[in-house]
Structure 1
Amino acid sequence: MMNKSLNCIKNRFFPLGTAAVVLLMFVVPIHSKVAHAVPTQIEQNSYFFEELLKSCQASYLKKVSMQSLIRAGLLSFVEESGCVLHWGSGKIKVRCYHETVTHDLPLDAADDGAKLLARVILLNTVSKSSVQSLREAVAKGIVNSLGDPFTAYLAPGEVQQLKRYGHWSVGVAMDPKHPDRVHGVRPGSSADMRGVFVGDRLLRVDGQSVNGKYYSEMSAILVGPPEERVTIELSRDDGIHRFQLNRSDEESIPIWAQKIHKDLLYMRPGKFDNGMADTMWVQLAAHAQVKGVILDLRHNPGGLLSEGISFLNGFVGEGALGSVHPRAGHPVQSYKASQAHVLSELPIVILVDGGTASVAEFVALVLKERLGAALVGQSTLGKGRVQRVISLPDSGAMRISVAELVGPSGQRIKKSLEVDHFLAPAAGNTAISGKNPAEDSWVAFGVGLLRKK
């Protein structure tokens, strides 16, 4: 009886017999190993480059050919490695010492280009560069070939540095077109107090040369732990200067609204983060019956476009508030005022400088075009972009511009917004560094303009 039951079970669950059971015991582990095989170094690098190339071509705000991206990557490789590239006569050749990799032209598929790049970075038999440093150099070359200083590949180490200390820097904004030039100095920062000036050329940071660094790399170099002092070396007309600087929280700009001179309103909105506009307008409820507004956007990094639009709704009661223009062939997103304005028909003076960027620039442009606001101070950064951050397989990331911010009249912020009234850097106490606005020379100039209106 027991044997009959066992045979029944065996026939039900193992109809092929005991031999099949033995075979399965050996076959399953073999298949399991194949399915979970560790990718080779070429496969890993190929996957990374393919994701990078596809993201550049699909997301960037302008159309770009795949072949131009691949060529840029190869040029960066030979510059970093010392190898030789021949591109022409229907063929690509990369020669490193006694090894050569070839590929037919045209080369317009991301997977083919990725495989080629993955192979050539393993050819490096002459240079002392590691495969990782070569991969990062190639990635930076590809992304920087797009021609946008705000679009950048961030290596894994840079991603971690910016995640941990991204808000902590020395108080300078570098020039996107000339990354070693100081474009703006945050009032009250260590750089400001020590005597760093707009136009200074940065030579070294903690002994490390910044020659040839991209704009995005400069940001990663200048940020770091708040407790560490930073030694910078810079040049100006009167020679070489060295400064030891302290880092401060660059995005710590408390929301501030207060009456000055009895009938004027000083406003400092802070970074355009979630809820900023609502907080700003709650504060304004206590400051009615004003005759003019000074809006302080100095060294404001921007933030969320949605908050910028909500903020503008408090000034502009109806009509266009500008638009977002992605690459050709994609729909334009237009914005219009959607609620009753809080501060209607008031004269406005906007304080800006080289650190005023992105959504802060957009807000300034809209108020200038719609309400005739006067821009006072120094030219802005010129970052009129909407950006995305794309994670990459190497634990790095790409910060990429996907659209342009456009004012109500159609003006794009392709370069710095120029001011109506240029001012020299404010000396001593400034409102943005937490001092009384009445002690700020730029605010005083704005008050004078409002009194004339």
Structure 2
Amino acid sequence: MTSRFRTLSTLCLTLTLGIGPGMGAAMAAEGPAASSDKAAQYALPLKELQTFSEIFQRIKQDYVKPVSDKELLDNAIQGMLTGLDPHSAYLDAKAFKQLQIDTTGEFGGLGLVVGIKDGFIQVVSPIDDTPAQRAGIKSGDIITRINGVSVQGMGLDEAVKMMRGKPGTEVKLEVAREGVSKPLHFTLKREVIRVDSVKSRMLEPGYGYVRITSFQANTAASLKKAVEKLDHENKGALKGLVLDLRNNPGGVLNAAVGVSNAFLNHGLIVYTKGRMSDADLRYEATPGDILHGAPMVVLVNGGTASAAEIVSGALKDNHRALIVGTRTFGKGSVQTVLPLSHDTAVKLTTALYFTPNGHSIQAEGIEPNIVVEPLAVGKSLSDGFQALREADLAGHLANPDGKDQNLRNGKGDPGLARTDFQLYEALTVLKSLVLSRGFGAAASG
């Protein structure tokens, strides 16, 4: 497995998978007949390339203004990759450098994870404690203008580039929201976005709460420290834990495996399947449950994506936790970042991942054991709004099981039911698990 094919993934719904020998090496290991078949499969389509060459020449000759060869070829490469699925992309030198900056968990921007829907930029989730989250931007909001410029038809990278910049400078967003007749206008001041991926607190004696906002390289280690801190505050082991993965857009695959492993003593966590043998990987849990078998509830919603869905699926299928909330986003694909020459790279979808029970999450998501909508004293906070999901993204990969078409269409804090109804219900479910002592049976549904 060559090291130059390895990198950390971005927070924008990307997982990382290392790959090994190139195609030529794979073909050399096979017999003559297989090699011949492979050669035919990967032969260049000369007729189509001739058409491409003719169009290239026509643009250079007849377009209204001169266009450089580099610009035309970069656009062609971008189109070739973005036409595959919403997560494959060509990273020029600037974009590749930005990806490497992103993996440090620090950048100048607004704190939004975004995708494309119907030609517009749509918010997948705001990052906690960022200008976007504090201003009230919500999952599913459609960004129609950035600094007065329409984003219709704009590429995702270009829109992200417009929202990022020097901390302290302002960005004006025009936003359309389901159920609101007029556009909403936000003036946000860019900040250095430092993604502190793990936060924790006690809900009440014996019951802890951990929120993971994204999956970074150090998330599993931070999780263990957070649980140790809660045990110390509780002056003893916790009776139960609520793990909040709502609006978590994902991140690094190994971090998701590490977090899942922290709560399991054995069992399969996740496996991936792709066209190349090196894309087929299995991740097994090892002994060392940091909660020592104490009951768990995992909170999810439509903004729970990618690596966060791996954790949800692993804990659900291994009967380690009850999943509470609403159906998750449904990003079950793996992206590999392949460095090229001249400091550029290709981010390519190379595999799908599957939960321990063999379910693909792609365009389907994780179905909670207990569905709890985000209500507040008789009123839906979502006002009938349906959050953006992977199945809504243009060009998304279909679920290999053919499921995504049907799926589109106690004490505690006295104010918790009003301020966070889903968390209130999760705590109630957690208490019932502790009291029933029948956790294994309860979690197997």
TM-score (norm 2): 0.66
Contact 2:127 2:213 in 1 (8 A): no
Match of residue 337 from structure 1: 285
Q: Is the 8 A contact 1:161 1:224 kept in 2?
A: no
Measure the CA separation in 2 of the matches of 1:207 and 1:129.
Answer: 27
Counterpart of 1:285 in 2: which secondary structure? helix
Match of 2:122 in 1: 181
TM alignment of 1:146-225, pairs within 5 A: 146=84, 148-163=85-100, 167-178=107-118, 180-225=121-166
What letter is aligned with 1:233?
Answer: E
Could you tell me how far apart the structure 2 residues matched to 1:57 and 1:168 are? 41
Q: CA deviation at 1:261?
A: 0.7
User: 2:217 — aligned with what?
Assistant: 274
Which is worse superposed, 293-302 or 270-279?
270-279
- Conserved? CA contact 1:353–1:378, under 8 Å: yes
Partner of 2:171: 230
Contact 1:230 1:246 in 2 (8 A): yes
Q: Distance in 2 between matches of 1:264 and 1:129?
A: 65
1:450 corresponds to which letter in structure 2? L
CA distance in 2, matches of 1:164, 1:309: 23
Q: For residues 408 and 274 of structure 1, what CA distance do their matches in structure 2 show?
A: 23
Is 1:253 the counterpart of 2:233 in the alignment? no
Which residue in the other structure is 1:445 paired with? 425
Shift of residue 253 of structure 1?
2.0
1:397 to 1:120, Cα distance in 2 relative to 1, 3 A: farther
**Which deviates more from structure 2 when the two are superposed, residues 208-217 or residues 247-256?**
247-256
Residues 267 and 327 of structure 1: is their aligned pair in 2 closer, same or farther, counting only changes over 3 Å? Answer: same
**Partner amino acid, structure 2, of 1:389:** V
State which of 64, 69, 76 in structure 2 corresponds to 1:138. 76
Instruction: Tell me how far 1:230 sits from its aligned partner.
Output: 1.0
**Given residue 141 of structure 1, which amino acid in structure 2 is its aligned partner?**
G
Tell me, in whole angstroms, the C-alpha distance in 2 between the residues paired with 1:222 and 1:437. 38
Deviation at 1:162, TM superposition (A): 4.9
Look up the SS of the partner of 2:224 in the other structure. Answer: helix
RMSD: 3.9
Higher relative contact order (CA 8 A, sep 6+): 2
Identity of aligned residues (%): 26
Structure 2 letter corresponding to 1:123: K
Instruction: Give the Cα separation in 1 of the matches to 2:144 and 2:299.
Output: 30
Aligned-partner Cα distance in 1 for 2:64–2:367: 46
Task: Kindly indicate whether the alpha-carbon contact (under 8 Å) linking 1:317 and 1:344 is maintained by their aligned counterparts in 2.
Answer: no
Partner in structure 2 of residue 127 of structure 1: 64
Q: 1:417: which partner in 2?
A: 366
Shift of 1:171: 3.3
> Residues 167 and 251 of structure 1 are in contact (CA less than 8 Å); yes or no, is this contact kept in structure 2?
yes
AA of the residue aligned to 2:131: S
Gaps in structure 2 of 5+ consecutive residues: 1-21, 27-37, 382-412, 434-445
Partners of 2:147 and 2:172 lie apart in 1 by 5
Task: State the 1:177 CA deviation.
Answer: 4.9
C-alpha separation in 1, matches of 2:414 and 2:220: 21
| Superposed CA offset, 1:224-282 (max 9, x none) | 32222111112344122221123345552253344321011111345433343234324
User: How big is each residue's C-alpha offset from its partner over 1:341-362, in whole Å with a ceiling of 9 and x where there is no partner?
Assistant: 2224433222334543322221
8 A contact 1:313–1:338 mirrored in 2: yes
Indicate the SS of the match to 2:60.
Answer: coil
Q: 1:133 to 1:152 in 2, by over 3 A?
A: same
Aligned-pair CA distance for 1:311: 2.2
User: What is the aligned residue count?
Assistant: 349
Q: Which moved more, 1:315-324 or 1:219-228?
A: 219-228
5+ long unaligned stretches in structure 1: 1-54, 72-86, 95-100, 103-116, 428-435
The superposition leaves residues 27-46 of structure 1 with CA deviations (integer Å, 9 ceiling, x where unpaired) of xxxxxxxxxxxxxxxxxxxx
Equivalent position amino acid for 2:92 in 1: A
Once the two structures are superposed, residues 189-214 of structure 1 have per-residue CA deviations (whole angstroms, 9 ceiling, x without a partner) of: 43333343333322111122211234
Give the Cα–Cα distance (whole angstroms) in 1 for the partners of residues 79 and 24 of structure 2: 14
TM-superposed deviation, 1:57: 12
Contact map agreement 1:321 1:407 (CA 8 A) in 2 = yes
Q: Does 1:240 align with 2:187?
A: no
AA paired with 2:211? R
Aligned-partner SS, 1:138: helix
Q: Taking structure 1 as reference, are residues 191 and 269 closer, same or farther at Cα in structure 2, changes over 3 Å only?
A: closer
Change (3 A) 1:327 1:225: farther
| Equivalent-residue separation in structure 1 for 2:99 and 2:279 (angstroms) | 33
* Bigger-Rg structure (1/2): 1
Mapped partners of 1:145, 1:56: distance in 2: 22
Instruction: Give 1:127's aligned amino acid.
Output: V
Deviations 1:3-59 (A, max 9, x none): xxxxxxxxxxxxxxxxxxxxxxxxxxxxxxxxxxxxxxxxxxxxxxxxxxxx99999
> Contact between 1:293 and 1:349, CA under 8 Å: does it hold in 2?
yes
User: Residue 339 of structure 1 aligns to a residue in which SS?
Assistant: coil
The question of whether the paired residues in 1 share the 8 Å contact of 2:257 and 2:269 is answered with: yes
8 Å CA contact 2:264–2:320 kept in 1: the answer is no
Give the TM-score normalised by structure 1: 0.65
Kindly indicate whether the alpha-carbon contact (under 8 Å) linking 1:251 and 1:271 is maintained by their aligned counterparts in 2.
Answer: no
Per-residue CA deviations over 1:419-445 (Å, capped at 9, x if unaligned) read 432215998xxxxxxxx9986514333
Would the aligned equivalents of 1:384 and 1:414 in 2 still touch at CA under 8 Å? Answer: yes
Q: Distance in 2 between matches of 1:181 and 1:222?
A: 13
